[in-house]
Amino acid sequence: MTHKLFEPARIGDIEVANRVVMAPLTRSRADEAAGDIPGSPMNVEYYRQRSNAGLIISEGTQVSPVGKGYMATPGIYSDAQVEGWKPITQAVHDAGSKIVAQIWHVGRVTHPNLTGGVQPVAPSAVTPKVIAYTRAGKVEALEPRALSVAEIKDIVAEYRRGAANAIRAGFDGIELHGANGYLIDQFLRDGANQRTDEYGGSIENRARFALEVVDAVVAEIGAGRVGIRLSPVTPANDLSDSDPQAVFGYLIEELDKRGIAFIHFVEGATGGPRDVPGFDYAWARKAFKGTYIANNGYTREMAIEAVDSGRADAVAFGRAYIANPDLVQRLKLNAPLNTPNPQTFYSHGEEGYIDYPSLDKAA
């Protein structure tokens, strides 16, 4: 029996060979000293190995130096970074897959040690209870500086430039990182957004920044090449909201009006329990007419059921893709999966990055 999970599909303007998606995975292996530049032979091989996915979503790539939250994460704001991404996107295309760039700004979830000495920025001066990992070791996050309206407009422009640069670098589109407590999420949720101007207070105002960013990138590269990642109820990075159904329900209805390609949902707590109350994903599936990409702890059986039943259009896998470069083949054959080693998720060499065996090498 052929399951829909392994059949071709169309995600907006992007034709994909199957409905298995490689989730965005921070791996901290860009050339930080040279300016957060990707594209080393090791980086190229990592993405090439995993190009059996119908769609690859790149690791988070910051739209500005101030948007950086982790060591050795790549950027998408300089010409050198664009050139660095080109051999990666070419390798993915040569292997028959498609790739979109996840573009992000981490907002308050960073430290001056990572941003060139610049104080973190956020919707409001609310300090998150998080630890930043820097070259100087683990440090507590500082109180961020509340952005001015003019600065918010500048960041919207940075996202637009990031989307344009992604296309220049050979990506098939972009995913806005609107999840897991980063800047877009900080504006959406009242646990971080205490503003009283047009970007705070009401649901419409808290969603304004997200929608301005969406409108900017759609104007730059077209709605059919734009997606967004959302995590309505995750507590990641010390973020919360008093009524996630209301704010994310409004946002999803507005995204549907704009005709974007996909919404990538983290169902439940990121990397944790799926049964977190506060948001109705079945409602979201019906409300949004684009592609629904499901994520968070999916097994082979869960993924097949979700797509066969129509509950989702595609399923994204994260840790499974770290350890199984040939994940689609393994899922098709119901073959055993390699176990990922968390000790090497964010180290800086080839170990735990490009040395996991594929089935043909393991045989």
Q: Which residues are catalytic?
A: 182
Distance CA 162, CA 43 (A): 20
End-to-end Cα spacing for the chain:
25
Cβ neighbours of 10 (radius 10 Å): 12
> How far, in Å, are 21, 143, 168, 228 from residue 251 at the CA level?
23, 28, 29, 11
3-class DSSP state of 327: helix
> How far, in Å, are 23, 100, 164, 226, 227 from residue 220 at the CA level?
24, 15, 6, 10, 13
Distance CA 177, CA 173 (A): 13
For 240, residues 6+ apart whose C-beta sits below 8 A from its C-beta are 189, 191
Cβ neighbours of 124 (radius 10 Å): 19
